[in-house]
């Protein structure tokens, strides 16, 4: 299928809105979400095959961000997340650097490797707290975060009411 720029912009906005609605509903149905996410992957692959990338210069910041968010949530397809990250890294000035940071961490965590920017937290259900996944060189994480326009990890942790950074710097 071929898409105009306007069609891509509209479609990715609709998909992003549906993604958020599904993820933030009570009693999330993961089977339904993963089925929806597979559709998103197919659409993004089609757009990439036509346009090479869903970048800010080609589609605008909103559409580029929408594509990134959908890919960020494709944990069932780590291979595609890596492919999309590679596309972003090929022309990093054409993408939001915070999106590159988040997807970099997501890919690393998916490979059981330490993240770089501390963007990925895990829910320790038994303790009822959220902690960052292991992070490379945690003492310098806020410097790396600042370089890409992210708030400090302490500020970021406030997004989770039960976040715990007590052992973070001692990893």
Beta-carbon neighbour count of residue 135 at 10 Å?
24
Where do runs of H (alpha helix) occur along 24-138?
A: 30-51, 56-59, 61-72, 78-90, 97-110
At residue 126, does pLDDT exceed 70?
A: no
Burial state string for 91-111 with b = 16 or more CB within 10 A and e = fewer than 16: eeeebbebbbbbbbbbbbbbe
Specify the 3-state DSSP secondary structure of 105: helix
With tokens 């997004």, the residue in question is 159
- Per-residue model confidence (pLDDT) at position 128: 81
Per-residue pLDDT tens over the stretch 7-51 = 999 999 999 999 999 998 888 898 999 999 999 999 999 999 999
Say how far apart CA 39 and CA 51 lie, in whole Å. Answer: 18
Cα angle: 123, vertex 155, 166; to 5 degrees: 55
pLDDT band at residue 125 using 50, 70 and 90 as cut-offs:
low
Q: pLDDT class for 118, splitting at 50, 70, 90? A: very high
CB 59 within 8 A of CB 8: yes
Condensed to tens digits (0 to 9), the pLDDT of residues 82-111 reads 999 999 999 999 999 999 999 999 999 999
pLDDT of 60 > 80? The answer is yes
pTM of the model: 0.93
């Amino acid at each position: 299928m071929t898409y105009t720029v306007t069609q891509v912009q509209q479609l990715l906005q609709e998909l992003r809105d549906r993604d958020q609605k599904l993820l933030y509903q009570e009693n999330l149905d993961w089977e339904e979400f993963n089925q929806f996410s597979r559709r998103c992957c197919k659409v993004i692959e089609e757009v990439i095959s036509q346009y090479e990338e869903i970048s800010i210069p080609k589609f605008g910041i909103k559409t580029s961000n929408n594509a990134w968010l959908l890919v960020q949530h494709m944990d069932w397809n780590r291979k595609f997340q890596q492919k999309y990250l590679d596309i972003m890294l090929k022309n990093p000035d054409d993408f939001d650097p915070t999106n590159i940071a988040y997807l970099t961490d997501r890919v690393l965590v998916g490979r059981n490797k330490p993240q770089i920017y501390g963007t990925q937290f895990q829910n320790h259900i038994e303790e009822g707290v959220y902690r960052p996944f292991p992070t490379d060189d945690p003492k310098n994480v806020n410097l790396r975060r600042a370089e890409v326009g992210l708030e400090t990890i302490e500020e970021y942790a406030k997004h989770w009411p039960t976040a715990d950074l007590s052992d973070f710097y001692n990893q």
